[in-house]
A and B are shown apart, each in its own frame.
Chain A
Amino acid sequence: MTAMNQALTLPLAPPRLPWTRRALTWTRSQLFPSAGHSLLTLGVIALLCWCVPAALNWLVFDATFVGEHARDCNPAGACWLPITQRWNLFVYGFYPQAEQWRVTLSFVLAGSAFGLLFFKRLDRRLLLAYLALLPIVMWWLLKGGAGLPEVSSTRFAGMLVTVFLGTAGMIFALPLGILLALGRRSKLPVVRLLCVLYIELVRSVPVISLLFMASLMIQLFLPPGSAFDILLRVQLVLILFTAAYMAETLRGGLQNLPRGQYEAAQALGFGYWKTMGQIILPQVLKQSIAPLLTQFIGLFKETTLVMIVGVLDIVGIAMSTAVTPEWVEYGHEIYVFLAIYFFVICFALSRYARHLEQRMEQSRS
């Protein structure tokens, strides 16, 4: 899109040609500028012609979407019945049927946080309050208590786990990351040392070993019977892990900022927190939005690792489906479904990062 815009606006801007001519020029200049390029274009087109129809046939046209049993499947195409038959399990896990509206509501709340960020005019404090309360409200909705019937977290599975871990992880990791980044640049040696130790320790250990630690070791240190929820334990690990990486991203931003900004704040008589909160951080966060969102996407994908410690996220449910006698032959479809699910969410996040960056560039110029 952007390439096209540039090509159109730069040389051809003054006389506006009919769209057919514009399309023709674009095709010629972008797809067939030279013999080598033309060959490449034709090669790619041939490749697409060869594999796209076959893929579409398998994925959609010959595929089976309606039915109840494996025998209803058309052997020529994909069989989506394991997904459609188990849709409820994929989305809500083992959540009691009568209470599933709570899961739906918490999905809507998490989704609307995403939506709210698009509104430029919204009061910042309102937005922050919404984001801060979101994980707590989600946990209350899902877990129950205080007016709602309690649901054991052993019944949490599927998308519910993925979305909860992802959302709460993102919201808690950022403030913790900011504190760690500030701590690392603090003038107090103890604070600095602790932050450096923490960040370096977490960054030099794979997340999987931290998850094993959370699932196996923590329980052994706690007094017997005081077991705290495995879901919260892995959530904590994901937050702590992501925060350490975010701290490093933000430190880059902090170091990039000209010294003059700090000195100007000091000259105005600002204290430490005021300097940071009103002058330094807004600039740093603005600069770091793209790498931060990349980390959020990473976090979202890392939630799948919880399967290894026995939490049934959407991948866990998919794996369990793949060994069910009835659906044992439809592993490919199940993997394709997982790929589509993660692609849709991560692609939306990355488009959103792009949107924010563009907005930033506009406001700067």
Chain B
Amino acid sequence: MHKLNRVKLLLGAPVLALLATCVQTAQAGVLDKVKAHGSVRCGVAGDKPGFSLIDDKGRWTGMDVDLCRAVAAAVLGDADKVEYLTTTAKNRFTALASGEIDILSRAASWTAERIANLGVDFTTVWFYDGQGFMTHAADGIEKLTDLDGATFCLSPGTTSEQNLEDYFGRRGLTYKTVVIEKSPELYAAFQRGRCNAISNDSSGLAARLALMNNPQDYALLPEVISKEPLGAFVAQGDTTWRNIVTWTAYALMTGEELGVTSDNVDQLRTSKTASTDIARLLGTEGTIGQSFGLDNDWAYRALKQVGNYAQIYDRNLGQQTALNIPRGLNRSWKDHGLMYAPPIR
């Protein structure tokens, strides 16, 4: 009897301890967790040129990566305090919901179904994309309906399968699919003629086309059959953290709008003649940063260390890169694009 009690006690203690940590962590928000951990854990794709990729020196680069870096700069004061976890199309939302990552910055589309069912919250659109098509130039395909009965190369678990079904099904057209998980193999299959067309986010297609050694052999179709607003997701229910990620992105867009770059931010911050909008953004006026649970220099640090949206875009996708994707919808609203950040005041 006595022995049994001791066994119970031995078994009981860890369970209690587990419960205690459970209660404790349930109360602590992501912001506190990030501060305690000393780094932002960022889930990325890892194989999308221009969005998240490893360079020869082992550094992460890309649009998605820079968003995480900006958050790290705003929250922890250092853009390098990011831990990257590669996620796959299958495990990305589970990783976020289970708290394994703090931000999912993986060029994932914002859809009602994901918000409703997956236990995640969307922050803001970081890149407007749409589903496009690439064909073999020799086939002489001019529009999408010419592809009746064709075979398409697709990647699994994405919205592109569904979109294709919708578009072709509605028009009574038939098609076959070849589904390949890894993008190098997907494009290789297309180039070797296993399918008549490849369908993917049109930015990805344009980027890929720019990298091919025989781009004249392929053609992009003019149709874009879906809206793909890409951006970062966070776990559901933590408004503080969601605000921080969302408004860091807005601060970088506002930076472009107001002409604040990583080069002139120091000068503008001390300048007496800078507009009040700039002063509010850089925290010399008002206490917006504090209201978010940070300090007032949050946006200054993000802009200083990572640059504004235009700088980020040019560095990763702009003209001097191999990808050279035109900004299109991703121009600032002042240049007739869709990038429109709410006022920071």
Contacts and interface: CB of A to CB of B under 8 A. Distances in A.
A325 B48 CA distance: 10
Contacts of A215: 91, 94-95
B100 A324 contact: no
A329 B213 contact: yes
B25 interface: yes
B184 A225 contact: no
Interface in A81-123: 85-86, 88-89, 92-94
A46 B186 CA distance: 37
Interface in B32-75: 33, 39, 41, 46-49, 53-58
Among A225, A226, A326, max chain B CB count under 10 A is at A225
B60 to A, nearest CB: 8
Interface in B195-209: 207
A331 B184 contact: yes
Given A225-B25, A320-B54, A310 B86 contact: yes
Contacts of A322: 184
A324 B184 contact: no
Q: Which of B18, B57, B98, B99 has the most CB of A within 10 A?
A: B98
Given A225-B25, A225-B28, A319-B182, A94 B58 contact: yes
A304 to B, nearest CB: 13
Interface stretch (A125-133, A216-224, A353-361): A216-224
A308 B321 CA distance: 29
Size class of B's contact patch? Answer: 35 or more
Interface in A216-245: 216, 219-220, 222-227, 230
State which size class the interface on A falls in: 35 or more
Interface in A302-355: 308-312, 316-317, 319-326, 328-329, 331
Contacts of A311: 86
A154 interface: yes
B26 interface: yes
Contacts of B239: none
A90 B342 CA distance: 44
A212 B88 CA distance: 11
Contacts of A320: 46-47, 53-54
A224 B91 contact: no
B85 interface: yes
Nearest to B213: A329
Nearest to A223: B22
A224 B26 contact: yes
A57 interface: no
A152 interface: yes
Interface string B157-186: 000000000000000000000000011100
Given A152-B39, A224-B25, A225-B33, A317 B54 contact: yes
B86 A312 contact: yes
A309 B91 contact: yes
A322 B22 CA distance: 42
A216 B94 CA distance: 6
B94 A220 contact: yes
Contacts of B97: 220
A323 B87 contact: no
Contacts of B98: 219-220, 222, 224, 227
Contacts of A216: 90-91, 94-95
Contact of A323 (B19, B25, B28, B53): B53
B322 interface: yes
Contacts of A224: 22, 25-26, 98-99
Contacts of A321: 54
A176 to B, nearest CB: 22
Contacts of A88: 57-58
Q: Which of A92, A222, A319 has the largest number of chain B CB atoms within 10 A?
A: A319
Contact of A223 (B18, B33, B56, B321): B18
A222 B21 CA distance: 11
Contacts of A85: 56
Interface in A124-173: 152, 154-155
Contacts of B47: 319-320, 323
Query: Max chain B CB contacts within 10 Å: which of A309, A317, A329?
Result: A309
B128 interface: no
Contacts of A223: 18-19, 21-22, 25-26
B323 interface: yes
B99 A227 contact: yes
Contact of B46 (A309, A312, A326): A312
B10 interface: no
A324 B25 contact: no
Nearest to A154: B83
B184 A323 contact: yes
Interface string A275-301: 000000000000000000000000000
Contacts of B39: 152
B188 interface: yes
B100 A227 contact: yes
A350 to B, nearest CB: 29
Quick one: which of A94, A222, A223, A309 has the most chain B CB within 10 A? A223
A73 B156 CA distance: 34
Contact of B94 (A152, A219, A331): A219
A328 B94 contact: no
Nearest to B25: A225
Nearest to A222: B98
B211 interface: yes
A26 B276 CA distance: 94
Contact of B100 (A219, A316, A331): A219
Nearest to A69: B56
Nearest to A220: B98
Contacts of A316: 46, 86
A203 B251 CA distance: 53
Contacts of B56: 85-86, 89, 324, 326
13 contacts: A155-B83, A212-B90, A215-B95, A222-B98, A224-B99, A225-B25, A225-B28, A309-B88, A312-B46, A319-B47, A321-B54, A325-B211, A331-B184
Given A224-B99, A225-B28, A225-B33, 14 more contacts: A89-B54, A89-B57, A94-B84, A216-B91, A225-B99, A308-B88, A310-B46, A312-B46, A320-B46, A321-B54, A323-B49, A323-B53, A323-B184, A324-B49
The 3 closest A-B pairs by CB, nearest first: A225-B25, A219-B98, A223-B22
